Chains A and B, each alone.
Chain A
Amino acid sequence: MLWQQLANGIAIGSVYALISLGLTMVYGILRILHVAHAGIYALGAYVGLLSFRLVGNFWLSLVVGMAGAAVAGYVVERFLYTPLLHLPRIAPLIVSIGLFTAMEEAFRIVAGPHTLAYNARVGLGDLSIGGFHLTETQILILFVTFAVLIFLWAFLTKTRTGLAMRACAQDPETTSSFGVNVSRIIAINFLIGSAMAGAAGVLIGVYDNQVWPTMGSIPAYKALAIVVLGGLGNIPGTVLASIVVGLAETFFIGVLAIPFPRDAVAFVAMILVLMFKPYGLLGKA
C-alpha cells in the first residue's frame, strides 16, 4: 500500500507544481500575489473541455486549454496588474481577489452550476509493477509535468529570454538599463505561467473527470501556501514544496489516518517551516 500511496502523493504533488509554478513566477517578477491565477487554472479546464467536446482529442484539448489560459493571463497582466504596479501591494491583491470572484461567477452563469464530465481517454492503459499501480491518468500527469519542467529548465537556463527573465526577477531596473524590454519579459512570464496553470486545469479535469465553477477555490489558497513554503519566487523551491505537500497530505490521510482537514496540511507545513526558515525552504531574503 505504501508504494501506491507514494504514487498517489507524487501525482497530486505534480499537479500542485504545475499550478504553483506560474504563481511563483509571477511573484518573482512582479511581487504580486496573483490569486486570480486559480481562476485561470479553471478557465484552462473549461476551455480544454469545450475543445474536447468539439474535437474529441485529448492532446488537442490540452493545447487549446493551455493557449486559452495563456491569453487570459496576458490580458490580466496588461490591463489589471501593470497599471497598478506603482501602488502599495494590497491594490493588485484585492483586484486579483475581485477578479477571481467574478471569474468563478462567470463560469457558473455561462456554463451552469453543475459539474461537467471531462471524459478524455488517451489509450495508454495502466501500469502495474508488483503492488505499485499507476493509473493511466497518473502516468499522463507525471509525463506532462516532467515535460513542462524540462522545458522550463531549458528555457530559463539556456535561452537569452530566460536569462533576461531571471535577471528581471532579481533587479528590473538594472536589467532594463541593459536594454532588455522588461515589459515584454513580464508578458512572456505571464504567458508561460498561465499556460502551465491551464495544463494543470485540463489534467485535473481529466484526473477527476470533473470541471466545475468553484474548482479554483482550493488551489487558490493552497498554491499560495505552497509557494511560500518553497520560497516566494523560487522555482526549484516551489517544485520541492509541491511534492512535499502532495506527499504529506497523502501520508497524513492514507497512512497515519489522522483526522485533519487535508487542505490545512499545506498551511501547517508552511507555518512550521517559516518558524525556522522565514523565507521558505529554498528562499533567500
Chain B
Amino acid sequence: MSATYARVAQDDTRAGGIILMIASSLAAVLVFAGLFYAMGTGARHEAALAAAGCEPSLSPSGLPCTTTAMLKNQYAAILTPDSKQLAADTAAYTANEGKNLAVAQAVLTAEVTTERAFDTSLAGITFPPAITPIAKALFQADQARANLTAQQAQSSSLTQMRSFNHRVQAASATVQTELTLLGKALGRG
C-alpha cells in the first residue's frame, strides 16, 4: 500500500511539474510575443494617429495623442449642459418678456453667465489646427451674442427689452451655424 501511495504521489507530483512546464512555456512564448509586438509600437502608433485623427501632444492625460473621440467627448462635456441651461433660460425669458421685467432681466443675466462659461470652457480645449479656426469663430459669435444679451438685460422697460429680440435671434443663428460647423468638423453631425 505504501508503495502504491508513493507511486500515485510521484505521478501526481510529476503531473504538477508537467502542468507547470506547459504553463511556463506558454508564458515564455507570450512574453516574447509581447516583446516582439512591442517592437512595432512606433509604426502602429503612426498608423493609429492617422486612423483615429489624433493630434500629438494634446492629451490631457499625458498620453501622446488626443483622438477625435477624446475631443468630441471634451466638447460634448461642455456643450450638453450649457445647451440645456440655455434652453431653460430661453423658455423662461419667453414666458416673462411681456409681463415681468425683473424676472426677464434675471433670466437674461443667467443666460449671459451660461454663454460666457461656455466660451471659457471652449477656449480651454486645444483643437487641432484644422478645427481651431472654426472653434475661434464659434467663440467670437458666442461672445457677440453674450454681449448683446448683456445689453438686453440692462433694458429699462419690457418694450426696450423686446426690441433686442431680433438682433439676439440673428446672433443666435450665427452661433448655431458655427456650432453645426464645429460639430461636423469633429464628426458629430
Q: Do A and B bind each other?
A: no
Q: What is A's interface to B at a CB cutoff of 8 Å? A: none
